[in-house]
């Protein structure tokens, strides 16, 4: 069967079966061999025979190399050195060096610009590292980009304007560096920095700045860059806003589709000894490229592949030189017949230079419409076979190479590859991470290397869904079979992976606190792991925690080994070295130790199983300095926002050594949550201020949230003790939440739904008595009730709203009457009380008469969405009414004065009702003359920009006027 007509139009809704049939031939045109870097590359068939089944999961062990924010920060990328040590990066500029059985140190602190997603990104070492000692990193240098001024809490100078003139945008134009540093021992020498490549950057707005680094076997450096484009005003579809007063950072045509720009690309260069680079053969443009005869002034020869939104992770097959790239697509929940495809993501196999379509095409070359953001009208569909870039922000070629087809693509719970559509990727958010291709070396003397079965197999992960898969590559290079990989592992969000010189797989795990980790210093369970293949007993896993990790001497610390375990269930013995001198100080599982003097100590736990295999973990203890305590006082963690809300924040910082805290050093950051991860939004400095929640960055059918985080780094303590950072984060909930976007559930299933009021086509159902879902965190401040969108079954039931547990305190309930006829959708209300503070909110579905499913699969109800009714986080203003005089004889002229203030600093409007029908004034001060006696209640209403109102009253007493007697 032939492939689809390139540029083929979409149908509304999820891609239809007929569409799938038409794209099943998409890999048919891929060749079995290709010219790469001037050499003939044989097909994957040369890898030899492939075993039928993968090794069992119990043949793998997971070794912890670094664990927790102090050892990994916000865990992003790694590079394995030839001696097995691992360099790994944190967005805040730290480069860590971890060694199995030894521990983790900080190899470098690179000053970085922090706003939205910027900071330190990818890391790689070249094939000649043993001789050159160069380490390559991608980062955002500080430079002179405007930053927030803490003395102006109502204004954030670090945010680029969304609209204005070229002069307004110019201060935020900057660069991202790809630099190299020499590693001397355990330290990267900052003074040795050579900036190899500078990539344009538009700062002060989100999103997709990069980036990954990898070397191929020929010594070429490959660099992935995102489209550097704000997608949150495009209704989830392609961001191509060309309005003349709009910040160009809302138009991805200026980057991904621009042949004269390095963003939205995979770049390919060959570093030279002097810190520069040359262009290898086989790139997309240039004299020795795929298209050599184009206008050289309108192309960048560094471009190998273009047309990407966010090729965040990729790898290079060490044998073939082929790239495997995880690529992100649009955010929309549903396809639109007038805008384009919904949220499709891709895995691309790149054998030669090409264009991968964004922002004109996505998935199996489903095309977007040329939408006019000024008029709100859709124009013609883009032609994926012959895309044309007519954006006024384009500085490159007008006519572009044809869009290539993806190797794998998936949407929702369906993955499409090699003519098949299956559910092998499960469901959830879509965050593909392109991992390595394994190459088995029979000559390698290693007890932990992966077996020959995996030779030529591609490993990938999904950061949002939390899994890793290994994919067999067929004789023609096609994805032949998808297999689960190491499901028994404890990784929460695989971020980066690389095979080491020992044949083991090294993995960066971002951790489970995906939405908060980005701006709160890292997830508590973020880690770097080594995965070994073993034939015998597997090594145990050690875990260390401490009730205190900093303080002044004498410092008593209670240690815990909770979480340590042996895969075979063997009992463990414990050996503690509290001060790093190599001797055993305790053998209890949970000992206590007192540090008598100042210093920085590495406490090490070694656990040993019955077979004599060991696992180690470390915890840093700083004596002589206390970690700052950072608390976000407002907004409330789990509070409810509306899009466009102005929310006040207050951060409290205490530090015993610093004393009075300089609020100018308190960093506050916000992030736009989306499908279990977050994109940076705004950055502030100061203990107080206001943030404006942006207009909806995606439809309310998506799993959205908003994050506010704060951090403070102190001045250090006693001599020789390091500076420490404290942080806190608040996760805020949207007004409307889809029921299927739960934190936890018991007994429910996510079903297709057809509510005429929308909801993304999903609901929770197949309920039995006691089944439940939960949402966390939730703070019901300002919330009066929950409006629940439901469709009753024949029996109906009750929805209980409870705090912290399915049988926790009852906060409210709603009856759902049974429906004996055809099912119809309705809204039921559950008035709720606020228990105070942040909680896990449970919806418990009750009806003891409902029989077990599937006997009566939906005889109770299905639930589509929850709306939190009330003011939520946007606090109403204050109102104070006064009058002079408040009593007297008629006619009585009264001067009224109204005062108000708004916690978020919104502009206020005033209205006076004088207590007399149809008499009032819309000013803060007013005058009114009462002509008739009586008691009158004058009411002042103060309203903020969000429509929240507060009232105050003043009583006016008017006596009957005196009558002059006649003489």
Cα(545)–Cα(576) distance, rounded to whole angstroms? 12
Q: Report the pLDDT value the prediction gives residue 154, as an integer from 0 to 100.
A: 66
Q: Report the pLDDT value the prediction gives residue 25, as an integer from 0 to 100.
A: 30
Torsion sign across C-alpha atoms 159, 160, 162, 165: positive
Cα(641)–Cα(875) distance, rounded to whole angstroms? 10
Cα(465)–Cα(410) distance, rounded to whole angstroms? 13
Sequence-distant (6+) residues with CB within 8 A of 91 are: 73, 74, 76, 112, 114, 117, 119, 120, 121, 518
Which has the closest alpha carbon to 848: 805, 793, 798? 798
CATH of the domain at 786: 2.60.120.260
CB 481 within 8 A of CB 472: yes
Residue 7 belongs to a domain: no
440: number of CA atoms within 13 Å, CB side? 16
CATH of the domain at 941: 2.60.40.10
Cα(555)–Cα(596) distance, rounded to whole angstroms? 7
CB 61 within 8 A of CB 69: no
348: enclosing H helix or E strand: strand 345-350
Query: If DSSP states are collapsed to H, E and C, what string results for 557-594?
Result: EEEECCCCECCCCCCCEEEEECCCCCCCCECCCCCEEE
Which has the closest alpha carbon to 132: 268, 269, 275, 267? 275
Q: Are residues 801 and 933 in the same domain?
A: no
CB 277 within 8 A of CB 196: yes
72: enclosing H helix or E strand: helix 69-72
Q: Are residues 124 and 238 in the same domain?
A: yes
CATH of the domain at 518: 2.120.10.30
- DSSP assignment, residue 298? G
- Is residue 870 left, alpha or beta, with left meaning phi > 0 and alpha meaning psi from -120 to 50? left
Q: Report the pLDDT value the prediction gives residue 20, as an integer from 0 to 100.
A: 27
Q: Report the pLDDT value the prediction gives residue 51, as an integer from 0 to 100.
A: 54
Cα(468)–Cα(482) distance, rounded to whole angstroms? 10
CATH of the domain at 570: 2.60.40
Q: Are residues 926 and 799 in the same domain?
A: no
Residue count of the chain = 967
Look-up: residue for tokens 């049939």?
Answer: 21
Residue 621 belongs to a domain: no
Q: Are residues 923 and 949 in the same domain?
A: yes
Query: If DSSP states are collapsed to H, E and C, what string results for 503-569?
Result: CCEEEEECCCCHHHHCCCCCCCCCEEEEEEECCCCCCCECCCEECCCEECCCEEEEEECCCCECCCC
Q: Report the pLDDT value the prediction gives residue 263, as an integer from 0 to 100.
A: 98
Here the tokens at position 874 are 């946007």
State which of 715, 733, 751 marks the end of a domain: 733
Cα(66)–Cα(71) distance, rounded to whole angstroms? 6
Low-confidence ranges of the chain (pLDDT < 50): 1-50, 516-519, 855, 964-967
- DSSP assignment, residue 635? S
Cα(445)–Cα(31) distance, rounded to whole angstroms? 35
Q: Are residues 671 and 701 in the same domain?
A: yes
Cα(668)–Cα(684) distance, rounded to whole angstroms? 5
Judge if the upstream peptide bond of residue 211 is cis by omega within 30 degrees of 0: yes
Here the tokens at position 117 are 């997603």
Cα(461)–Cα(313) distance, rounded to whole angstroms? 10
Q: Are residues 727 and 764 in the same domain?
A: no
Cα(690)–Cα(694) distance, rounded to whole angstroms? 13
State which of 612, 643, 667 marks the end of a domain: 612
Cα(102)–Cα(65) distance, rounded to whole angstroms? 9
State which of 870, 891, 919 marks the end of a domain: 870
pLDDT in tens, 40-80: 333 333 334 445 788 887 889 999 999 988 999 999 999 99
- DSSP assignment, residue 361? E
709: enclosing H helix or E strand: strand 704-713
Q: Are residues 347 and 377 in the same domain?
A: yes
Q: Report the pLDDT value the prediction gives residue 859, as an integer from 0 to 100.
A: 79
Look-up: residue for tokens 């308190």?
Answer: 666
Q: Are residues 828 and 923 in the same domain?
A: no
Instruction: With H, G, I as helix, E, B as strand and everything else as coil, classify residue 44.
Output: helix
Neighbour tally for 380: CB within 10 Å: 8
Residue 846 belongs to a domain: yes
Residue 10 belongs to a domain: no
**If you compute the radius of gyration of the chain from its CA atoms, what whole number of angstroms results?**
31
Q: Are residues 597 and 461 in the same domain?
A: no
Neighbour tally for 241: CB within 10 Å: 24
Cα(726)–Cα(655) distance, rounded to whole angstroms? 9
Angstrom distances, CA of residue 542 to CA of 605, 624, 859: 7, 27, 48
Residue 964 belongs to a domain: no
Q: Are residues 224 and 288 in the same domain?
A: yes
Cα(682)–Cα(406) distance, rounded to whole angstroms? 34
- The count of structural domains within the chain is 5
Q: Report the pLDDT value the prediction gives residue 109, as an integer from 0 to 100.
A: 96
Look-up: residue for tokens 């102090």?
Answer: 70
Here the tokens at position 275 are 């810190």
H-type alpha helices, 10-150: 17-23, 69-72, 129-132
The residues with which 846 forms a beta bridge, in sequence order, are 798
Q: Report the pLDDT value the prediction gives residue 116, as an integer from 0 to 100.
A: 82
Tell how far CA 812 is from the center of its chain.
33
Residue 3 belongs to a domain: no
Q: Report the pLDDT value the prediction gives residue 704, as an integer from 0 to 100.
A: 84
Residue 539 belongs to a domain: no
Q: Are residues 688 and 772 in the same domain?
A: no
What is the domain extent for residue 946? 878-959
CB 346 within 8 A of CB 310: no
Residue 965 belongs to a domain: no
Cα(734)–Cα(707) distance, rounded to whole angstroms? 11
Which has the closest alpha carbon to 697: 235, 252, 161? 235
Cα(924)–Cα(867) distance, rounded to whole angstroms? 34
Q: Are residues 57 and 145 in the same domain?
A: yes
């Amino acid at each position: 069967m032939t492939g689809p007509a390139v540029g083929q139009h979409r149908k509304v809704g999820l891609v239809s079966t007929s569409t799938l049939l038409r794209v099943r031939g998409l890999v048919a045109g891929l060749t079995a061999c290709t010219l790469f870097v001037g050499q003939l590359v044989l097909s994957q068939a040369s890898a030899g025979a492939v075993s039928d089944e993968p090794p069992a999961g119990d043949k793998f062990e997971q070794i912890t190399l670094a664990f927790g924010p102090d050892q990994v920060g916000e865990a992003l990328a790694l590079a394995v050195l030839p001696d097995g040590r691992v360099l790994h990066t944190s967005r805040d500029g730290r480069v860590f060096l971890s060694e199995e059985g030894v521990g983790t140190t900080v190899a470098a602190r690179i000053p970085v610009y922090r706003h939205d997603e910027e900071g330190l990104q990818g890391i790689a070492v070249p094939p000649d590292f043993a001789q050159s000692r160069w380490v390559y990193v991608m980062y955002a240098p500080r430079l002179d980009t405007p930053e927030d001024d803490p003395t102006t809490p109502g204004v954030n100078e670090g945010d680029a304007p969304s609209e204005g003139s070229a002069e307004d945008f110019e201060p935020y134009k900057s660069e991202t560096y790809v630099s190299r540093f020499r590693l001397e021992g355990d330290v990267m020498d900052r003074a040795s920095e050579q900036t190899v490549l500078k990539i344009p950057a538009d700062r002060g707005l989100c999103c997709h700045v990069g980036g990954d680094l990898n070397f191929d076997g020929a010594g070429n450096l490959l660099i992935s860059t995102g489209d550097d484009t704000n997608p949150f005003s495009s209704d989830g579809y392609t961001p191509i806003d060309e309005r003349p007063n709009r910040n160009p950072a809302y138009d991805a045509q200026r980057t991904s589709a621009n042949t004269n720009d390095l963003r939205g690309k995979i770049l390919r260069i060959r570093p030279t000894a002097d810190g520069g680079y040359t262009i290898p053969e086989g790139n997309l443009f240039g004299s020795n490229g795929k298209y050599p005869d184009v206008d050289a002034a309108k192309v960048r020869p560094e471009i190998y592949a273009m047309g990407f939104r966010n090729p965040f992770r990729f790898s290079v097959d060490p044998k073939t030189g082929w790239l495997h790239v995880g690529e992100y697509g649009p955010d929309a929940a549903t396809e639109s017949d007038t805008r384009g495809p919904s949220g499709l993501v891709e895995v691309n196999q790149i054998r030669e230079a090409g264009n991968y379509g964004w922002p004109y095409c996505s998935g199996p070359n489903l095309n977007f419409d040329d939408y006019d953001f000024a008029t709100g009208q859709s124009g013609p569909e883009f032609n994926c076979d012959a895309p044309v870039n007519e954006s006024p922000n384009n500085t490159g070629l007008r006519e572009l190479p044809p869009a290539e087809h993806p190797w794998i693509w998936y949407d929702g719970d369906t993955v499409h590859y090699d003519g098949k559509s299956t559910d092998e990727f499960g469901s959830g958010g879509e965050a593909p991470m392109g991992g390595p291709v394994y190459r088995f070396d029979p000559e390698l003397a290693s007890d932990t290397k992966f077996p020959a079965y995996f030779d030529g197999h591609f490993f990938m992960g999904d950061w949002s869904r939390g899994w890793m898969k290994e994919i067999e590559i067929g004789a023609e290079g096609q994805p032949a079979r998808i297999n689960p990989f190491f499901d028994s592992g404890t990784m929460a969000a695989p971020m980066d992976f690389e095979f080491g010189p020992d044949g083991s797989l090294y993995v960066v795990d971002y951790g489970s606190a995906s939405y908060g980790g980005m701006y709160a210093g890292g997830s508590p369970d973020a880690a770097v792991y080594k995965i070994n293949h073993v034939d015998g007993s597997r090594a145990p896993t050690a875990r260390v925690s401490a009730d205190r990790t900093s303080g002044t001497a004498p410092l008593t610390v209670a240690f815990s080994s909770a979480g340590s375990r042996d895969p075979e269930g063997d009992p463990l013995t414990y050996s503690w070295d509290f001060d790093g001198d190599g001797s055993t100080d305790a053998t209890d599982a949970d000992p206590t130790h007192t540090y008598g003097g100042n210093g920085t100590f590495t406490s090490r736990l070694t656990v040993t199983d019955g077979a004599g295999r060991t696992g180690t973990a470390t915890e840093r203890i700083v004596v002589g300095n206390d970690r700052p305590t950072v608390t976000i006082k407002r907004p409330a963690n789990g509070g409810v926002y509306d899009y466009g809300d102005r929310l006040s924040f207050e951060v409290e910082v205490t530090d015993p050594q610093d004393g009075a805290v300089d609020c100018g050093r308190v960093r506050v950051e916000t992030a736009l949550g989306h499908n279990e991860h977050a994109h940076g939004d705004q950055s502030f400095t100061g203990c107080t201020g206001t943030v404006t929640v942006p207009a909806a960055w995606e439809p309310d059918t998506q799993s959205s949230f908003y994050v506010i985080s704060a951090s403070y780094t102190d001045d250090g303590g006693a001599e020789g003790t390091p500076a420490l950072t404290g942080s806190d984060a608040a996760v805020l909930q949207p007004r409307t939440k889809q029921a299927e976007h739960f934190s936890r559930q018991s007994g429910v299933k996510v079903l297709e739904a057809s509510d005429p009021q929308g909801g993304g086509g999903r609901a929770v159902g197949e309920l039995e008595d006691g089944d439940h879902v939960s949402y966390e965190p939730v703070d019901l401040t300002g919330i009066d009730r929950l409006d629940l969108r439901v469709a009753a079954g024949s029996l109906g039931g009750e929805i209980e709203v409870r705090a912290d547990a399915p049988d926790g305190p009852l906060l409210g309930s709603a009856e759902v009457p049974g429906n004996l006829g055809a099912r119809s959708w309705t809204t039921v209300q559950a008035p709720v009380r606020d228990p105070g503070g942040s909680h896990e909110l449970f919806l418990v579905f009750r009806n003891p008469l409902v029989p077990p499913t599937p006997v009566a699969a939906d005889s109770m109800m299905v639930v589509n969405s929850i709306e939190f009714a009330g003011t939520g986080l946007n606090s109403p203003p204050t109102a104070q009414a006064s009058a002079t005089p408040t009593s007297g004889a008629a006619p009585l002229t009264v001067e009224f004065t109204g005062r108000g203030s708004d916690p978020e600093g919104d502009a206020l409007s005033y209205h006076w009702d004088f207590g007399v029908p149809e008499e009032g004034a819309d000013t803060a001060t007013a005058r009114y003359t009462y002509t008739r006696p009586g008691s009158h209640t004058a009411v002042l209403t103060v309203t903020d920009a969000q429509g929240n109102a507060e009232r105050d009253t003043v009583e006016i007493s008017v006596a009957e006027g005196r009558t002059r007697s006649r003489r």
